[in-house]
Amino acid sequence: MEYLYRLGFFSSFWKALPFILPVAIAIQFGLYGAFSKAPSYLLAWAVFFTGNAILRSLVSFVLLNEPVEIVKILGLVLIGLGAYLIKLT
């Protein structure tokens, strides 16, 4: 949805709302299911946050042709390392 908004597909939030609302509700049900079945809430949050950061960065780099910066790559590596360390505990 962010990709479509940043491309200018939606001219305002109100015009995008009918498209955003069903997706947001489906994502919330998915998150509830994932968090309720995870071994711990902390690990579920870490995996969700890591996946979200990686997907948003891929959209930024690949689809929107934004420049790849070393700081962003290092940030993703640190987020992934943090999720892995949480998994170890």
Which tens digits make up the pLDDT trace of 33-67? 888 888 888 888 888 888 889 888 888 888 888 89
Q: Are residues 52 and 62 in the same domain?
A: yes
Same domain, 44 and 86: yes
Q: Which two tokens stand for residue 34?
A: 């994932």
Rg (CA), the chain: 16
What is the torsional sign of CA 70, 74, 79, 84?
positive
Q: Are residues 33 and 44 in the same domain?
A: no
Q: How confident is residue 32, by pLDDT bands cut at 50, 70 and 90?
A: confident
Q: What is the pTM of this model?
A: 0.71
Is the pLDDT confidence value at 5 over 80? no
Q: How many angstroms separate the CA atoms of 6 and 25, rounded?
A: 21
What's residue 75's pLDDT?
A: 92
Task: Note the pLDDT of residue 81.
Answer: 92
Same domain for 54 and 80:
yes
Q: Answer yes or no: do 83 and 58 share one domain.
A: yes
